[in-house]
Amino acid sequence: MRGSHRSHANYWAFGLHRISGILLALFLPIHFHVLYLAVHNDSVFDEFVYWAESPLVKVAETVLVVLLALHLTGGVRLLAIEFFPWRDWQKTIVAVTTGLSLATGLIFLLNVI
């Protein structure tokens, strides 16, 4: 019976929420650095914007949007767990929110290409 909790949808939703939070926290210093460049060094920022048009960066931006959506929906799931009684349909919510997160990323990717 050991490890059977790992096959539960809420375990995976918990893991995705934590991993997305860590990856977003790692992204923040890069984001603040780019904002600093935008304010203090126009030419370096212009070079960054040119580099950001590459396909690899577009894919990375899409992953970032998916991480943001996963983290948002994971947080909403946690609020629902805290404030509502447990029901079997909550497993469905995990699947729906994950699907919505991936759809958000796909919509973003289609708009940046």
What is the CATH number that goes with domain 4-112? 1.20.1300.10
- From CA 29, how far away is CA 56, in angstroms rounded? 20
Q: What is the pLDDT of residues 61-82, one digit of tens each?
A: 889 998 998 898 888 888 877 7
| pLDDT band for position 3 (cuts 50, 70, 90) | low
Domain residue extents for the chain: 4-112
* Measured CA distances, 48 to 3, 29, 34, 51, 106 (Å): 46, 15, 8, 5, 24
